[in-house]
Structure 1
Amino acid sequence: MDNYGFYLSTLSLRGKGKKNAEVTFYQGLNLISGASNTGKTFIFQCIDFIFGGRDVPKNIDERKGYDIVLLELRTYDGRILTLRRNLTDKKMYIYECEINEIDNIVPVEIKSQHDKEDPDNVSTILLDICKAPYKNVVKNKQGITVSFSFRDFVHISMLSEKRIIDSISPIYPEDSMYTNTKSQSAFRTIMTGKDDTFYSENKQKNDVKLGAKAKLEIVENMILDTRISIEEISRELEGENFNIDDFEREITSLKNQITDKSSTLDTLQMERNSKWMNLQNIKSEKMLLSESVKRFKLLRKNYESDLERLDFIEEAIFFTEQLVDIKCPVCDNPFKPEEVDVKNGVLAEFKKTRMQLGDLISTILETQEKEHIMSSEINIIKSELQKIDQIIEEELQPMLYEFKNKIENVMNLRDKFKMIEFNKEKLKELIKNQEELTDQIKAKKAKVEFSNDVNQNSLKLFSQIVQDILIDWQLEEVVNVEFDEVKKDIIINGKDKEGFGKGYASILNSAFVVGVLKYAIKLGLPHPKIIILDSPLTTYKEKDVKEDTNDQKVKEEVKNAFFESLNKYQEKVQFIILENIEPKKEIQKKINYYRFTRNESIGRYGFIPVNS
């Protein structure tokens, strides 16, 4: 449901013998900037006049000789209409054609004010285009109702140079306690899609059936909550082009990839475990060899010590043999050596020990060689383990982690899509239930109690939308928006609008009405889809300078962000900004831009041609 609403295409001021004063508008952002007294505010007044405003545009000198205002508008379902209103008698007409073809068409006179008894009025025509079926809203606390008119949309979508700096909420067209209840009722209707028709029809009935009414209130709140839930989830899923089948295929694919990679991981883990066990065995053997080498080296020292001792004995025997035979000084008998051949025994032991030492040295060398080979094997296995660990840690595990995250994300997205489908089915049932209860109320003539409250979830969503807008406009580094239900206005970082001053109010009021537009579009609620602002940035700067509140002076980046943000909406929405300031060249190229110079020799003088 996005084909409701319309956009302005041409505004024309005409008079006999006068040059037509015209500006052309398009969908998206339109900006008219320039010097003061060039007709920018006059353009605002002409549009407001065509939309059923009571006041004739200001009678400036340049307007002399002009007697009619024409406004061509194009609906989003393909219609082209031209509205005409006389500046003299305020009469109004409609042409079912483009503005350039009106001379070939007989116009139909219509009323400029809303009339629920006569559909031939500009308000009913524009409400029908907006697909707004609203009829009655409560006017005062006594419960008197009046018709909902297109002017109720105008008040929340067009801010004049005076209203844009008001400290009161933009929902109030004027600061008057006598119109507050009606303004609140109209705002509630716009934000909930529910008017006060039932209350108007049944407030005098005696056969009160509050059960059906109470159920209807619950169902209507559930409908709004469900719509908000669908919108919030859709907002999270913005840019996702999957459907449920795509999700299931993606989940199956990811599960298969996880299984494949898990199998590879298991194989590598088994290989790693085998190599690790082999490594431990080799290390144990090497440790035993190292210990053996230590003991062999100790035994070698013993053999070498024995050889030194035997060598000493052999040398002693040699020197003993050189001695002269002598007699015993006691018995005088000659010395006779022992029967045992000491020399031969020493030589035999010497030879045996040398042989054992040689065998030991060979054994040590062989053992050390084995130890060296094992060290090489250990290094090779360590290198292989390192490669396996690297594959596991740097490839498989991150890949599995990524796959698991992906499958978790996809499953979350799938669940959200399922939740949207569930909520849509739930919404159908609730709407059906709402219709049944509505029929019951009509049949039983149940009394409907009056309430001007807006659902809390609606206000929370609206506050979030306005907060996102102000962040997008770079107004403050940190922005927190809440809704004051008493003042029916936004609170910024715990501070109401009055605490910021008039200059700041122009930005906040602008964000408020843009927020209402975005809110209505998100929930599919009726809205003209047009926002017209007179001096949202210039006022901000000038007021801050005069009041010496330099900390609130508009920054260049805020102005640029303001235009860049509004320019994001290219289709089925229209912004018309009237400003004194000139945006940077990059922005001018992207938007529909007029520059009024008030200089006949440079560019366009203003809205109304000079010497026309």
Structure 2
Amino acid sequence: MAANPSIRLNQLAFVNRTGGARAELPFSDSFSFVFGASNTGKSFAVKSLDFMLGGNRELPDIIERRPYERAILELSLSSGERLSLERALAGGDFSVSINGAESVVFSARHNRNDEANLSNYLLNRLKMADKEVAKDKSGTKKALSFRDIVRLCIVDETAIQSETSPAESGEIQFAALERNIFKYMLTGVDDAAMITQLKPKDFSTGRNAQVGLLEGMLAEVESEISDSFPDIDDLPDEYVAVQDELTELEKEMAFVRDSSREKLENKARLVVSINRDQQRVNDISMALENFEQLKRVYDSDIARLESIEEAGFLLGLNMDDACPVCGSPPEAHVHKHALSEIEAARAAAEIEIAKVKAHGIELSATLKDTSAELERSGQRLLLNQQSLTTLEEDLAAGSPKSADSLRRISEIIPRRDRINRGLALARRQVELTRQIADLKKKKQTRRHSNFQAGLSTQIANDFAVQVGLVLQEWGFPGECRTFFDTEGTFDLIIDGKRRRDNGKGVRAITHAAFKVALLIYCRSRGLPHPGLLVMDSPLITYRDPIQSKGGDLADDEEAIKSSDLRERMLSHLGSLGDLGQIVIFDNIDAPANVADFAQIEVFTNNPAEGRQGLL
């Protein structure tokens, strides 16, 4: 295994001509795990690695890349060579330095007859040069390029979630080619020895079969139109009318919603204000009752003190006269108080009277102010209660309108769906008629090949077993009984369920298992594989269903998210260093022990904390 030709990524860097800006992302020889927040450059890094290995897709024009002009990828070959690949971010050829020597120009386009291109140079070092693969069922061949291999080793976020087979890109015109490339990796045998040939009978049979199939489909469409859509010619006009009606109803519903929302907010404010004013009125009323009682006390005190003062005054005037009450002479009076004492008592009463009267004046002012506040609060309370009553009447009046709009919409939607079905059938009828006519006019241009692209049953089963072992190692739910559908989807069937029929998170995990199994299968058997695997977001099933753009989790994703698959998967990848180099980019947080078996790079998306992002 150690002698297998391989490639190792050492570092990805971005620079400008002046050297004033440089961003670097190093990789471990075995397992690197790059994780962090969204929009920090992880997917851009994956696209950049593909770009630096010969990809011709333009890199995304993100703002963060603008200070940089060129990318540099440093890699090592098992032959001992160290390469530094430099390329403009706008694309074009490579400037390549081998073992530190002066740079030479390598073309980005494959040419099997010239080693001065990156593809042929790497294929030679990997012992894959001069291979040919059939690109269609007739056996037309093309030279194998390094890009054909890279597609199975670098997986972006879109591809890893796709329903398409991990061995294919989803482009129908490349399906045969991609299946044959996959076959070459699993067998080590290319298609160079295959004879290209064409059989007129096969062409005719195939064409007639296609015509028969399309005619059968056309008959079904026309039968449904006849039975269910006798008014099919009127459907376009009906569709316009229905759409107009729906648009108007939606506007009405939006107006009712907006109006009701504002009224409900006003109602809430009124209720709060009414409760507050009612409480204030109650408090003021109680205070006024207390003030009135205090006023009565003041009046009583004043009356009592005035009687004392008057009595003292009279006593002081008549001290030497007969008692004004009983008529007794002065010498018969038994009191011993001197006139001065009586006068002092009278004066004290007079002072106390003045104090009580002063308090009474203050109390009167307080009573006046409090009564005024009570009147204001009462008026405000009354106005708010009247406004609340009016608002509740408006809300009650709006409810029937909303219910009527909903009823009308529920009646219109089935009509619209029926119209859509009829229009779709009409379009299908036209398209099938055109396809049938085109097929009947189609002329034979070349003999049909007897070559059948695809894998043998034995090889397909052996590979499927390897995928099953990987899934078991990761703790994937179920028995992990895995089969390879060579005739249909060219994809896995896991525990009786087609891989493509799972949620996007499960598709991502099983796609990752497919690619990891391919690395293990090929490297352990000395078959063609560069010993390199880069994947973006294989663990998307661990996403946040609210914040993530991936949306809600499917049931099968929930089952995985609640398991320890993430930990077991990363641990397993960390154990494959002898077979190849694996680089994972993902949004999930790393398990606590991942540093034990992986080189970690964290993108925080926070300039004040660690590394913000790739650039």
TM-score w.r.t. length of structure 2: 0.56
Following superposition, the deviation at residue 185 of structure 1 comes to 1.2
1:84 aligns with 86
SS where residue 513 of structure 1 aligns?
Answer: helix
Query: Is 2:57 the counterpart of 1:61?
Result: no
**In the alignment, which of 490, 493, 496 is matched to residue 488 of structure 1?**
490
Greater Cα shift, 123-132 or 482-491: 123-132
Query: Is 2:162 the counterpart of 1:166?
Result: yes
The one-letter amino acid of 1:576's match is V
d(CA) in 2 for partners of 1:197, 1:449: 15
Deviations 1:22-77 (A, max 9, x none): 01112211000001111111111111001111112211111113111111111123
C-alpha contact 1:507 1:540 (8 A) present in aligned 2: no
2:514 aligns with 512
Query: Is 2:557 the counterpart of 1:552?
Result: yes
1:603 aligns with 610
Matches within 5 A, 1:329-478: 450-478=451-479
Query: Is 2:195 the counterpart of 1:195?
Result: no
d(CA) in 2 for partners of 1:555, 1:73: 38
d(CA) in 1 for partners of 2:167, 2:541: 20
Following superposition, the deviation at residue 7 of structure 1 comes to 0.8
1:296 aligns with none
SS where residue 532 of structure 1 aligns?
Answer: strand
2:203 aligns with none
Aligned length: 359
Point out where structure 1 has 5 or more consecutive residues left out of the alignment.
206-447
1:109 aligns with 105
1:233 aligns with none
d(CA) in 2 for partners of 1:78, 1:598: 37
1:26 aligns with 28
Point out where structure 2 has 5 or more consecutive residues left out of the alignment.
199-448
**In the alignment, which of 113, 119, 126 is matched to residue 123 of structure 1?**
119
1:144 aligns with 140
Deviations 1:73-128 (A, max 9, x none): 1112322111121123522121102xxx5xxx421111112112222211111212
Following superposition, the deviation at residue 546 of structure 1 comes to 2.7
d(CA) in 2 for partners of 1:54, 1:89: 7
Greater Cα shift, 134-143 or 509-518: 134-143
2:38 aligns with 36
The one-letter amino acid of 1:189's match is Y
The one-letter amino acid of 1:149's match is S
d(CA) in 2 for partners of 1:111, 1:204: 34
Q: Which entry has the higher C-alpha Rg, 1 or 2?
A: 1
1:2 aligns with 2
TM-score w.r.t. length of structure 1: 0.56
d(CA) in 2 for partners of 1:94, 1:449: 43
1:353 aligns with none
The one-letter amino acid of 1:111's match is S
**In the alignment, which of 69, 92, 95 is matched to residue 93 of structure 1?**
95
C-alpha contact 1:155 1:170 (8 A) present in aligned 2: no
Following superposition, the deviation at residue 551 of structure 1 comes to 4.1
1:499 aligns with 501
Deviations 1:483-534 (A, max 9, x none): 1112211110011023212221000110111111111012211111111110
Following superposition, the deviation at residue 571 of structure 1 comes to 2.9
CA distance 1:537–1:89, change in 2 (3 Å) = closer
C-alpha contact 1:81 1:94 (8 A) present in aligned 2: yes
SS where residue 173 of structure 2 aligns?
Answer: coil
C-alpha contact 2:59 2:90 (8 A) present in aligned 1: no
Following superposition, the deviation at residue 129 of structure 1 comes to 2.2
Deviations 1:231-283 (A, max 9, x none): xxxxxxxxxxxxxxxxxxxxxxxxxxxxxxxxxxxxxxxxxxxxxxxxxxxxx
d(CA) in 1 for partners of 2:93, 2:483: 43
The one-letter amino acid of 2:576's match is Y
C-alpha contact 2:571 2:597 (8 A) present in aligned 1: no
Following superposition, the deviation at residue 192 of structure 1 comes to 0.9
C-alpha contact 2:86 2:96 (8 A) present in aligned 1: yes
SS where residue 55 of structure 2 aligns?
Answer: coil
**In the alignment, which of 592, 599, 606 is matched to residue 599 of structure 2?**
592
The one-letter amino acid of 2:196's match is K
2:51 aligns with 49
CA distance 1:134–1:188, change in 2 (3 Å) = farther
Following superposition, the deviation at residue 548 of structure 1 comes to 4.5
d(CA) in 1 for partners of 2:478, 2:495: 11
Identity among equivalent positions (%) equals 29
Following superposition, the deviation at residue 146 of structure 1 comes to 1.3
SS where residue 10 of structure 2 aligns?
Answer: strand
2:586 aligns with 579
CA distance 1:472–1:89, change in 2 (3 Å) = closer
User: What value does the CA root-mean-square deviation take over the aligned residues?
Assistant: 2.3
d(CA) in 2 for partners of 1:472, 1:491: 18
The one-letter amino acid of 2:485's match is D
CA distance 1:542–1:53, change in 2 (3 Å) = farther
d(CA) in 1 for partners of 2:128, 2:2: 13
2:252 aligns with none
